[in-house]
Amino acid sequence: MVATLEIRNLHASVDGEDEMILRGLDLTVKKGEIHALMGPNGSGKSTLANILMGNPAYEVHEGEVLLDGENLLDLEPDERSRAGLFLAFQYPVAIPGVTLGNFLRHAINARMKAEDPDSKGIPIPKFARLMREKMTQLQIDHAFAGRYLNEGFSGGEKKRAEVLQMAVLEPEIAVLDETDSGLDIDALRIVADGVNALTGPDLGVLVITHYQRMLNYIKPDYVHVLYEGRIVESGGPELAVELEEKGYEWIRERHEALAHFQA
Amino acid sequence: MAVVRRRSALPQAPSFSWADVQSLSDAHDEPDWLRARRREAWEIYRNTPMPYQEEEWRRTDYRHIRWDEAERLIQANGATAAVVPAKNLEPLTGAEQGGLLVFVDGNVVRSELAPSLEKQGVIFTDLRTALRDHSELVERRLMTQAVRATDGKFAALHAALWDYGVFVYVPRNTIAELPLHVVCYNTSAGAAMGHVLVVLDDNAQATMQVEYASNVTDGQSAYIGATELIVGDAGNLRYVSLQDWNRDTFEFSHQRGIVGRDAQLDWVNGVMGSQLTKAFIEVDAVGQGANARVSGFFFADRDQFFDLDTQQNHNAPLTNTDLLFKGAARDRARTLWQGMIKSLPQMQRIDGYQVCRNLLLSDEARMDSIPGLEIEADDVACSHAATFGTLEEEPIYYLMSRGITRPQAQLMIIEGFFDELLQRIPFERVRQRLMAEIEAKIIG
Ligand SMILES: Nc1ncnc2c1ncn2[C@@H]1O[C@H](COP(=O)(O)OP(=O)(O)OP(=O)(O)O)[C@@H](O)[C@H]1O
Ligand SMILES: [Mg+2]
């Protein structure tokens, strides 16, 4: 069966709040597909990403999220990760004292242990080889493996480190939340190449972005627009170009007209 | 409702007597100058009340010590180095060792010094042997400069009754490259009064680690210790102290580093064990251009109580002291750090820094930090800070989002909190061992 992420009628808020950020969101991402999710600031894109990953700061009120038919919402974030979901964070948090290398080794070992409790984890030389290979590919200085996770990283370095983690963990469904923002054109190309190297029949991607720029490098099969907590437009790559040219104003107008008509 | 706890009883004093001092001196046939010093210290001890309400002590309630058990001076019972856990005896580095000195119940059970260091004139021996073989050196430095009998009730008691110790001397212009390692291990309950005296002559260098530990005993113990680190002009001392007493031990210690002109002291102090620890940790920057870095890590669990009292004294211009303590507390443990930076009047261009970072791992634990400055100079850059945190959900979530389980994520974050300090220990193996010990404390 092809791995599929299915989001059905999702309603969600910040934990403990009444005001819904997501209000009946539907979206399906299959392995092998690239979807782009666009939308104005504050429309709930990161909220969606974090709810998918299981961030306890948010609360789901209604709807379901399935990964290969399994209810993701019942799982802890680590279980979701091991089930094949990955989130490249818009704002990765710094963790002092934990090096990037050590962290990723633990992440791999956690996967191995979940599969086989007696697993000794990945041998260090093998892990070092893997890291070197992936870091070279993403043009990350190898010394970064010894740096504390995200601490003192520039915006672009954080984004590259996120993609490095994705490359090492080889997810089935990856959500990239604004992985392009803050990158200069060279860095953008490197990151996009890195993502493209991972795409293919074994990976489904949801690219969250403001700008069509990223989509010149990572070519989406589908483009969706999030507005007022729902997907209000879906289309092919041409939709992204249209949004770039016209902005979100026409979405708002059309959506309001529609809402008015329905009322 | 605020609960006001009144102290119903004054702290009890141990029942040491002048006869104890005399018989100690007699048993070791001590020289007159030492007998005279012990007598003087005994007088100070006798005339000083048990500490109780004074500022440095009022938050430290040690009245649950049972002196009838803890005052009995520990006697060596013939145990050898075989009783010392392997982890304490493990060489500090994979390479050649400079020296190893092991005490069991105050008795020297191993005393080794690399021939290369011996040839350089480095002295690394127990204090009693040093009294015999290097009497003048010891007489000149022992409790005359760094820790003094007048520093407090327990300093006076120690000066009157210290019974074993370490003496290190590195001659002028000598670099003792290989690390020196000391282990003080106790197997029975009672009082131990160990002394460490390290003297680096001008332009000398050394690296040293001292470990304190004891096995589980029936009955309480008191460690009434003193550490004196004297770094001569342009000298450089890296000193690591690791304390892991059993949970029936009360430590009352005075530790002081004296840093000479253009000299450097890099001091790491780890506190993991004991029931209660009250340690005075001080550095005196006495020479122009002196530099001291003082690092501390502590992790209190169950009903442990740590009170670390630090002081950075700038007694010369252009001196620099940098203090960083990091601690965690879980269960019902309590920790207290009280820091002070002081300067003599008119000491210009001094730079003093002190910070204590606290990680609270349970609602019932309590951590306090009280930084302070008493600066009587104006061209100064002094700063102090204390921070308090708990385990935050956001980093845990981030680690979990990569497949790491919650307990493992918590462990990594706590270890990460300490990593910066552990990195200041110059021995990789020791760092790894401490990481494992921290891990054991976290997992409980
Ligand atoms: N943890 C939070 N606490 C309070 N409000 C929040 C929190 N997270 C999101 N919000 C609010 O929810 C709304 C959606 O935020 P979200 O971050 O999901 O938007 P976004 O589409 O990702 O925006 P951007 O394009 O700026 O990244 C915003 O109004 C935001 O202020
Ligand atoms: Mg966002």
Instruction: List, for residues B68-85, the tens digit of each pLDDT value.
Output: 999 999 999 999 999 999
Question: So where are chain A's domains?
Answer: 18-92+155-262
How many angstroms separate the CA atoms of A236 and A148, rounded?
40
Q: Which range among B138-147, B319-328, B344-353, B401-410 shows the weakest confidence by mean pLDDT?
A: B344-353
Residues B403, B275 share a domain? no
- From the number of C-beta atoms within 10 Å of its C-beta (0-12, 13-18, 19+), residue B428 rates as exposed
Number of domains chain B contains: 2
Q: Are the beta carbons of B230 and B198 closer than 8 angstroms?
A: yes
The tokens 């630090």 sit on which residue? B310
A43 pocket-lining for ligand 1 (C-beta < 6 Å): yes
Secondary structure (DSSP) of A77-99: HHHHHHTTEEEE-SSPPPEEEEE
**Cα B161 from chain centroid?**
19
How many angstroms separate the CA atoms of A57 and A54, rounded?
9
A105 pocket-lining for ligand 1 (C-beta < 6 Å): no
* Size of chain B, expressed as the number of residues it contains: 444
Average pLDDT of B37-62? 95
Residues B278, B425 share a domain? no
pLDDT score at A243: 87
CA dihedral B59, B63, B69, B71 (to 10 degrees): 60
What percent of chain B is modeled with pLDDT above 90?
A: 91
How many angstroms separate the CA atoms of A215 and A208, rounded?
10
CA distance B275 to chain A (A): 29
pLDDT score at B110: 97
- Homologous superfamily (CATH) of A18-92+155-262 is P-loop containing nucleotide triphosphate hydrolases (3.40.50.300)
φ, ψ of residue A131 in degrees (nearest 5): -60, -45
What percent of chain A is modeled with pLDDT above 90?
A: 82
Burial B35-66 (b: 16+ CB within 10 A, else e): eebbeebbebbeebeebbeeeebeebebeebe
Residues B163, B23 share a domain? yes
**Count of CB atoms within 10 A of residue B2's CB?**
3
pLDDT score at B345: 86
Least Cα distance to B130 among A47, B122, A11, B442 occurs for: B122
Residue A141: pLDDT band (50, 70, 90) is very high
Question: Which chain B residue shows the shortest CA-CA distance from A79?
Answer: B403
Instruction: List, for residues B274-296, the tens digit of each pLDDT value.
Output: 999 999 999 999 999 999 999 99
Q: Using the predicted structure, report yes or no on whether residue B7 has a pLDDT greater than 80.
A: no
Residue A2: pLDDT band (50, 70, 90) is low
Q: How far is the CA of A42 from the centre of ligand 1 (A)?
A: 5
φ, ψ of residue A17 in degrees (nearest 5): -100, 155
pLDDT score at A263: 67
Structural domain contains residue B375: no
Q: Which domain holds residue B184?
A: 17-287
Q: Give the mutation target among A10, A11, A43, A89 for probing the ligand 1 site: most ligand atoms within 8 A of CB.
A: A43
Residues B413, B271 share a domain? no
The average confidence (pLDDT) of chain B is 95
Residue B5: pLDDT band (50, 70, 90) is low
A257 pocket-lining for ligand 1 (C-beta < 6 Å): no
How many angstroms separate the CA atoms of B197 and A73, rounded?
62
**Ligand lying closest to the C-alpha of residue A226:** 1
Contacts of B394 in chain A (CB under 8 A): 57, 93
**Count of CB atoms within 10 A of residue B231's CB?**
33
- Of residues A9 and A194, which shows the higher confidence score? A9
A56 pocket-lining for ligand 1 (C-beta < 6 Å): no
**Ligand lying closest to the C-alpha of residue A41:** 1
pLDDT score at B363: 96
Instruction: List, for residues A34-64, the tens digit of each pLDDT value.
Output: 999 999 999 999 999 999 999 999 999 999 9
Domain final residue, candidates B287, B316, B340: B287
pLDDT score at A261: 75
Structural domain contains residue B85: yes
Domain final residue, candidates B242, B267, B287: B287
Residues B191, B44 share a domain? yes
Structural domain contains residue B278: yes
Residue B230: pLDDT band (50, 70, 90) is very high
Structural domain contains residue B199: yes
Structural domain contains residue B312: no
Residue B322: pLDDT band (50, 70, 90) is very high
Nearest by CB to B402, which of A55, A81, A96? A81
- Of residues A242 and B323, which shows the higher confidence score? B323
Residues B398, B283 share a domain? no
Nearest by CB to A95, which of B393, B398, B418? B398
Domain final residue, candidates B261, B287, B313: B287
Residue A151: pLDDT band (50, 70, 90) is very high
**Ligand lying closest to the C-alpha of residue A16:** 1
Q: Residue A240 belongs to what H/E stretch?
A: helix A237-246
Structural domain contains residue B335: no
Residue B1: pLDDT band (50, 70, 90) is very low
Average pLDDT of B24-51? 97
The average confidence (pLDDT) of chain A is 93
Contacts of B442 in chain A (CB under 8 A): none
In B272-379, beta strands by DSSP E: 276-285, 291-300, 305-314, 320-329, 334-343, 350-360, 366-370, 373-374
pTM: 0.92
B252: left (phi > 0), else alpha (psi -120 to 50), else beta? beta
HSE-CB at A156 with a 13 A cutoff on CA atoms is 15
A57 pocket-lining for ligand 1 (C-beta < 6 Å): yes
Interface test with A, best of B387, B392, B397, B421 (most A CBs within 10 A): B397
